[in-house]
């Protein structure tokens, strides 16, 4: 027989279910072809709701949340564009936004996209697998439809993981370390590619004799000419280098004039994307520490399992007026879906980050404006076209493109 007390609890529970207040209604609504607007960030979901945590192989999106005892948010899940801030989000999309899956590529990481406007070509990299893969890729945007082909520089550069365009050259963060590849030894470092001659030059390959770990991503401060880069430890985890980390994870500023390398931060678990605000007063660095592994060589190359309670936040730092140092580290955005991988800033100051199955667009306070949703894990992205209003996205299993009104910064 039921005790009076538990009968009372059941009544109370039923009352609470009936009395759920403040539920976002509707949670989401159609805002255009393949555009879905989420109201008030879905701040109060009807019980019972649940979103499974992401894993290395399955990254959940907000649309995977089930609500009200199991209803799927089908329109949210399938939309190309998920708008959270209606006013600013629809402005970013403009009147005729489009998303197109353009190239099917391998499940390898695809990274370091750099647009060379004078050639109307987009260079990008493909990392392992297979181990030891040496060429890069290039998308020729002069062709209709665009073509994708392999590209080999002279000398070849192993595993660019980040890149930008500066002073007529592609600057790569090369993340591979190998005694014998492409006709010689290669160590993690900064390289420059002249896209007119296909010749490459090394800019930096050591820190007082030590190998860098991974040089993952980089950005040039156009005011000072310094190259800022992040140095997490992924190349060891993912078997892109033959030497276990000799340095802690850190972010650096390299002065090409003097050759000096300055550590700017060593507090981030795995520093990854790096980008400047348009006026170079702020630098953003993402922490992808929730994708990590042990550095002790006794575990071999451990891969990078995802840990949902690890670090996956974009931080902002103020840059001193002379462009030399940073201060005032603050958390800006915790990437919900996966880790904030590639990081770039639009001409208007909005911050874009790859976040598992898509790209999130944030304002400078870290407020999510909209998400571009993909069916593959996005590592990085770059703007192309005469007005820099086409965004190419790439990652594990796909290369796609977005046409919208959000222009990229002009890189000179
Ligand atoms: C959550 O995901 C795990 C695997 O990633 C799966 O085994 C489990 O069934 C999922 N749980 C729910 C409630 O979907
Ligand atoms: C969920 O299911 C319970 C039990 O069947 C029911 O009392 C409740 O009203 C349902 N909630 C919603 C939001 O449909
Ligand atoms: C080094 O390069 C060779 C190809 O020259 C490749 O077979 C090997 O897997 C590479 N090792 C590492 C750790 O990158
Ligand atoms: C550079 O490489 C591209 C692609 O392989 C090729 O089409 C072009 O002719 C090369 N340029 C020079 C100057 O060798
Ligand atoms: C995940 O990270 C948390 C710290 O955020 C740690 O306590 C936990 O042990 C980690 N889990 C695994 C499986 O490594
Ligand atoms: C993504 O969708 C496209 C069609 O839009 C399909 O061709 C492709 O195989 C899908 N890719 C993955 C990784 O699911």
- Where do the structural domains in the chain lie, given as residue ranges? 93-403
What is the distance in A from the centroid of ligand 5 to the CA of 21? Answer: 35
For residue 310 and ligand 5, the question of a CB distance below 6 A is answered with yes
- Residue 354 phi/psi, 5-degree rounding, is -70, 135
Q: Which residue CA neighbors atom 14 of ligand 2 most closely?
A: 68
What is the distance in A from the centroid of ligand 4 to the CA of 175? Answer: 23
Residue with tokens 């010689």: 184
Please list the ranges in the chain whose pLDDT falls under 70.
1-18
For residue 181 and ligand 3, the question of a CB distance below 6 A is answered with yes
What integer pLDDT is reported at residue 151 of this predicted model? 98
**Between 1.10.10.10, 2.120.10.30, 3.40.718.10, 3.90.800.10, what CATH number should domain 93-403 receive?**
2.120.10.30
What integer pLDDT is reported at residue 295 of this predicted model? 93
Which regions of 71-208 does DSSP assign to beta strands (E)?
71-72, 81-83, 98-103, 110-116, 121-126, 136-140, 147-151, 160-166, 169-174, 178-181, 184-186, 189-194, 199-204
What integer pLDDT is reported at residue 128 of this predicted model? 85
- Note the ligand closest to the C-alpha atom of 132: 3
Cα–Cα distance measured from residue 374 to residue 78, given in angstroms and rounded to the nearest whole number? 9
Quick one: which atom of ligand 3 is closest to the CA of 179? 1
For residue 239 and ligand 3, the question of a CB distance below 6 A is answered with yes
3-state DSSP percent of the chain in helix, strand and coil, to 5: 10, 40, 50
Quick one: which atom of ligand 3 is closest to the CA of 130? 9
For residue 68 and ligand 2, the question of a CB distance below 6 A is answered with yes
Q: How far is CA 317 from CA 265, 303, 366, in A?
A: 10, 30, 13
- Note the ligand closest to the C-alpha atom of 44: 2
Closest CA to 280 of 333, 225, 335, 342: 225
Quick one: which atom of ligand 2 is closest to the CA of 68? 13
Closest CA to 97 of 83, 76, 115: 83
What is the distance in A from the centroid of ligand 2 to the CA of 69? Answer: 6
For residue 302 and ligand 5, the question of a CB distance below 6 A is answered with no
Q: Which residue CA neighbors atom 12 of ligand 5 most closely?
A: 307
Cα–Cα distance measured from residue 400 to residue 125, given in angstroms and rounded to the nearest whole number? 15
What integer pLDDT is reported at residue 19 of this predicted model? 77
Q: How far is CA 165 from CA 137, 194, 237, 331, 393, in A?
A: 16, 10, 28, 28, 17
What pTM was computed for the model? Answer: 0.94
Structure tokens at 60: 């959940």
What integer pLDDT is reported at residue 5 of this predicted model? 44
What integer pLDDT is reported at residue 41 of this predicted model? 98
What integer pLDDT is reported at residue 331 of this predicted model? 98
The DSSP 8-state label assigned to residue 269 in this structure reads: S
Q: Find out whether the peptide bond into 17 is cis, omega within 30 degrees of 0.
A: no
């Amino acid at each position: 027989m039921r005790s009076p007390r538990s009968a009372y609890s059941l009544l109370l529970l039923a009352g609470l279910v009936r009395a759920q207040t403040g539920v976002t209604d509707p949670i989401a609504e159609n805002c255009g072809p393949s555009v879905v607007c989420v109201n008030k960030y879905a701040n109060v979901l009807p019980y019972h709701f649940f979103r499974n945590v992401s894993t290395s192989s399955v990254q959940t999106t907000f649309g995977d949340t089930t609500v009200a005892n199991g209803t799927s948010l089908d329109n949210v899940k399938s939309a190309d564009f998920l708008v959270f801030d209606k006013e600013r989000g629809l402005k970013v999309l403009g009147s005729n936004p489009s998303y197109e899956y353009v190239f099917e590529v391998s499940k390898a990481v695809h990274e370091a996209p750099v647009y060379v406007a004078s050639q109307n070509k987009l260079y990008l990299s493909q990392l392992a697998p297979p181990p030891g893969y040496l060429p890069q890729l290039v998308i020729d945007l002069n062709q209709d439809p665009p073509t994708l082909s392999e590209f080999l520089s002279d000398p070849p550069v192993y595993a660019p993981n980040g890149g930008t365009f500066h002073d007529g050259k592609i600057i790569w963060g090369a993340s591979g370390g190998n005694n014998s590849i492409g006709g010689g030894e290669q160590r993690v470092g900064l390289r420059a590619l002249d896209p007119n001659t296909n010749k490459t030059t090394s800019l930096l390959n050591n820190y007082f004799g030590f190998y860098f770990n991974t040089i993952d991503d980089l950005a040039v401060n156009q005011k000072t000419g310094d190259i800022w880069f992040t140095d997490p430890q992924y190349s060891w985890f993912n078997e892109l280098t033959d030497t276990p980390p000799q340095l802690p994870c850190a972010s650096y500023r390299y002065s090409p004039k003097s050759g000096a390398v300055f550590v700017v931060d060593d507090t981030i678990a795995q520093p990854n994307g790096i980008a400047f605000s348009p006026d170079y007063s702020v630098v953003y660095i993402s922490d992808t520490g929730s994708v990590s592994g042990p550095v002790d060589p006794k575990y071999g190359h451990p891969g990078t399992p995802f840990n949902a309670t690890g670090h996956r936040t974009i931080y902002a730092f103020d840059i001193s007026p002379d462009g030399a140092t940073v201060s005032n580290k603050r958390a800006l955005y915790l990437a919900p879906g996966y880790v904030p991988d590639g990081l770039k800033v639009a001409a208007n100051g909005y911050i874009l980050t790859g976040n598992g199955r898509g790209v999130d667009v944030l304002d400078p306070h870290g407020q999510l404006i909209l998400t571009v949703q993909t069916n593959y894990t996005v590592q990085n992205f770059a703007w192309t076209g005469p007005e820099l209003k086409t965004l190419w996205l790439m990652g594990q299993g796909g290369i796609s493109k977005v046409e919208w009104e959000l222009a990229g910064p002009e890189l000179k």
